[in-house]
A and B are shown apart, each in its own frame.
Chain A
């Protein structure tokens, strides 16, 4: 069974993370080792008291370099102001560093707490020996071990040598929820100062001695190839060092980026278009419409045939392709040497980069060092290793030495992988009493194919399709008959993870159609949802468990906080939607819009979110604000269209995103901790925003939006 986590290759920071017996590779470092305390890969305390915490997740703006150290530091009882952050590189110790699925905090929660608590308990033991007191009479607090009875305190720094000599305990006590002093506190980003002073180093900022800069001229048509090229003119551009053929196209290597960019304009190159030259979004949309007549794979079937339908409704929703359009374009710096390779990459998948670069170069993985840089946005795009592999290829083809391959904005817009287009065939039935008794949602779309192609076995397996149908099969509502299905459609478009992955399109269709049903039933949209969240408190759908009382609570808070029901001026409207992401994070939005001359202005967004235990409220609010803007961009601004086998967009001019002057007021209400563990936030904030928006547009105009992006009649 493929769970969504296997699918995203997201992993727990478990097991190896707590491996005992750190080894120093460096002799000089080994000499210092006695004074340094490092019980595991996550915590290192120097004799001067410096606490260095390792971050095993990639920072792309989601705040992991803040939230993860907060968890460690809290259990360690470190002084937050004294900590330093270090980024993990793949190694035997850090064999599972992938970042995605909004799983960083949730997946790291227990391992990091254990790592911090282990260090804390060892420091307490060291202090007990030093002060010759019972360890039960000691407590750790803010970088000190304190003996209250004698009013003595020893700093962590003074205890490093003694603690390092102790055996690492297997089982340590963890703090109780009420004992946290860092977890739960609004905490500013640890990278803030580096960012605002221009010192933060992203992938494109890597500068190493002898660095050369490269660009790749790629076949314009998907699946095309280079037929022939003549480097004569390109090589005449001053600063150009090499023009080499690589799998992605023709690479131009130069002394500076500008020389490479200039040379690409004069490179003589011809391409084979390949088999997809006739592909367009319009043909793909027709293909999806045709496919919708198939029954596809059943992804859920509850109580089918038990309901007597007296009145039925149906609608078709359509969702386009989107690009990630991270502000930092794809890039990687690679230095291929005789028997080793060094990579600096803004990557969400450092272990994949390491193993695949090693395979490409015929080296052992240990011969490839991967430095994870900060990234200028990720959103799922940097789970791909394509741009890192090609940098290694270019460095090798150009004779070795460090080369930075930079994608232009147009490369990035046209040659990445994309959020899949989809079509949703919705239908529902009411019985003679007007009660909603039947629900059917058929999704027509394409599985991910960019990083891995689904196997033939997967393509026959209904469970595989169920597990890529988030937002469809996990419809939370209590309806007598629920039938969901998936019809796969082939596409030459590379498809891969995009913020919230499979959920945004499904939730758009589900929550918009549910609004249509509420209206048909003459019911208030929030009340209509609450009325269908009765029944069993826990709903099991596939491997997920939906807790309906939590979703009801989120909706009830939304009703109060959004001034639901309060009249708005003519031309304005209010709409809402909700979702349970992956059975974990519960989110509801209300949006207020004003529509004038076919133009939508979003005035206000209210978000209510329950993500379990709250680690960093300031970071969560940030992610919600970001999720709102991301979603409004997708609904109101650009999408990716294809013509003649190529994406038509090339910059933010034609793939528009929301700007500051279009940004609504955003109000956030976090449901206080419901449970002992935290759940993800980055992705869950996305799916219900778009349907809340289109439901508001309907309330304002009477125009039902069933196709994205929103294009209104005047």
Chain B
């Protein structure tokens, strides 16, 4: 066990957890932030994607020890009322079916837009092709990423 300091959604947190506990479980079980989802635990579905600074990372693949001193943003950190451009775009396009994968999809989109403010379809496919949506909302996700870009999601 080790005390690990990290910043989540602008709030500094100190957690006393196993150094190898994936950040996914630190968020969900230790900090009680359940917006970040468990999908596979082996980094192949993208459901647990969060931002490390401006970069999308898989929370199930980041051991707590590596989180020391880092600044993370989770879905809860975008806005509580759904006003962030990516959230608004997702609502406008009525993307969600079951919705379970969408936190990961939205966080991946945030990272994409920070890299490329007006992505092409090819950019979108490339950024999101490692994320699984079993309900099959991909058509609307593509539309929503464009909408998010228009709404200023790059900021």
**A residues touching B (Cβ–Cβ < 8 Å)?**
59-63, 188-189, 191-193, 195-202, 204-205, 207, 213, 238, 256-259, 261-262, 325-329, 374-379, 406, 408-409, 618, 622-623, 625-630, 633, 651-653, 657-661, 663, 665-666
Q: Which residues of B contact A327 (CB under 8 A)?
A: 37, 39, 45, 47, 98, 100-101, 132-134
Q: Which residues of A contact B137 (CB under 8 A)?
A: 622, 625-626
Q: Which residues of B contact A238 (CB under 8 A)?
A: 1, 18
Q: Which residues of A contact B97 (CB under 8 A)?
A: 61-63, 622-623, 626
Q: Which residues of B contact A199 (CB under 8 A)?
A: 35, 76, 80
**B residues touching A (Cβ–Cβ < 8 Å)?**
1, 17-18, 20-22, 25, 28-30, 32-42, 44-45, 47, 74-76, 78-82, 86-87, 90-91, 94, 96-103, 106, 124-126, 128-142
A61 touches B98 (CB 8 A): yes
A192 touches B45 (CB 8 A): no
Given contacts A189-B96, A374-B98, contact A201 B34 (CB under 8 A): yes
Q: Which residues of A contact B45 (CB under 8 A)?
A: 327, 409, 651-652
Q: Jot down 20 A-B pairs with beta carbons below 8 A, ordered by A.
A: A188-B94, A191-B99, A192-B94, A193-B91, A195-B99, A196-B96, A199-B35, A205-B34, A213-B29, A256-B17, A327-B45, A376-B101, A409-B40, A629-B136, A651-B42, A651-B45, A659-B138, A660-B128, A661-B125, A663-B139
Nearest CB of B to A331, in Å: 9
Nearest CB of B to A33, in Å: 33
Q: In the complex the two chains form, what is the Cα distance from A625 to B94 in whole Å? A: 13
Q: In the complex the two chains form, what is the Cα distance from A62 to B21 in whole Å? A: 35
B38 touches A660 (CB 8 A): no
For the complex with contacts A196-B90, A377-B134, A409-B41, 10 further pairs of A-B residues with Cβ separation under 8 Å are A61-B135, A196-B86, A204-B38, A238-B18, A257-B28, A262-B20, A651-B40, A659-B131, A660-B138, A663-B139
Q: In the complex the two chains form, what is the Cα distance from A665 to B121 in whole Å? A: 12
Q: Which residues of B contact A201 (CB under 8 A)?
A: 34
Nearest CB of B to A192, in Å: 5
Q: In the complex the two chains form, what is the Cα distance from A192 to B28 in whole Å? A: 21
A197 touches B25 (CB 8 A): no
User: What does DSSP make chain B's interface, helix, strand, loop or mixed?
Assistant: loop
Q: Which residues of A contact B106 (CB under 8 A)?
A: 196
Nearest CB of B to A534, in Å: 36
A197 touches B29 (CB 8 A): no
Counting from the closest, the 10 A-B pairs by CB-CB distance are: A198-B35, A629-B136, A376-B100, A61-B98, A61-B97, A195-B99, A198-B75, A661-B125, A626-B136, A205-B34
Nearest CB of B to A255, in Å: 8
A258 touches B99 (CB 8 A): no
For A256, give its contact among B30, B94, B129 (CB under 8 Å): B30
Q: In the complex the two chains form, what is the Cα distance from A199 to B133 in whole Å? A: 19
Given contacts A62-B97, A196-B106, A207-B32, contact A659 B130 (CB under 8 A): yes
Q: Which residues of B contact A207 (CB under 8 A)?
A: 32, 34
Given contacts A329-B38, A666-B139, contact A374 B99 (CB under 8 A): yes
For B136, give its contact among A189, A213, A627 (CB under 8 Å): A627
Given contacts A189-B94, A198-B74, A652-B40, contact A328 B100 (CB under 8 A): yes
Nearest CB of A to B99, in Å: 4
Q: Which residues of A contact B136 (CB under 8 A)?
A: 625-630, 633, 658, 663
Closest chain A residue, CB of each to CB of B36: A198
Q: Which residues of B contact A258 (CB under 8 A)?
A: 17-18, 21-22, 25, 29
For A192, give its contact among B96, B103, B128, B135 (CB under 8 Å): B96
Q: Which residues of A contact B139 (CB under 8 A)?
A: 625, 663, 665-666
B135 touches A626 (CB 8 A): yes
For A629, give its contact among B29, B87, B138 (CB under 8 Å): B138
A653 touches B42 (CB 8 A): yes
B79 touches A204 (CB 8 A): no
Q: In the complex the two chains form, what is the Cα distance from A62 to B82 in whole Å? A: 22
A192 touches B34 (CB 8 A): no
B81 touches A198 (CB 8 A): no
Q: In the complex the two chains form, what is the Cα distance from A377 to B100 in whole Å? A: 8
Closest chain A residue, CB of each to CB of B96: A195
A377 touches B28 (CB 8 A): no
Closest chain B residue, CB of each to CB of A618: B94
Q: In the complex the two chains form, what is the Cα distance from A374 to B130 in whole Å? A: 24
**Most B-side CB within 10 Å, residue of A213, A238, A622:** A622
Q: In the complex the two chains form, what is the Cα distance from A435 to B90 in whole Å? A: 53
B87 touches A197 (CB 8 A): yes
Q: Which residues of B contact A408 (CB under 8 A)?
A: 41
